[in-house]
Amino acid sequence: MLDDKDVKIRELTAELQKERKRSAALQEQLDMLLKDMEDHSDQLSKNINGIVQSVKELESRKIVFPNVG
């Protein structure tokens, strides 16, 4: 027969296991979110680099007209 201490230990052990599972699920979601953010950041960097290259290319093609005065 279980005494009150054994019952409490079993209840707390079950609660601890439940919270560990919950924590693991939250950690997995956080890891996925961080991965998505990293991927998005990488894509933004590529887009920005492409824009910078385009601007540099346009600037190199620019014809400078002398001032007419």
Please check whether residue 20 lies inside any domain of the structure: yes
Q: Show the tokens assigned to 61.
A: 């093609």
Give residue 69's pLDDT band: very low, low, confident or very high (50, 70, 90). Answer: low
Residue 68 lies in a domain: no
pLDDT of residue 17: 98
64 belongs to a structural domain: no
- Rounded Cα distance between 2 and 20, Å, is 25
Indicate whether 9 belongs to any domain. Answer: yes
* Domain span holding position 20: 1-29
Domain-embedded: residue 58 = no
Q: How many CB atoms lie within 10 A of CB 3?
A: 8
d(CA 51, CA 54): 5
Give the per-residue pLDDT at 60: 84
- pLDDT surpassing 60 at residue 23: yes
Number of domains in the chain: 1
44-60 pLDDT, tens digit each: 999 999 999 998 888 88
State the pTM of this model.
0.65
**pLDDT score of 63 more than 70:** no
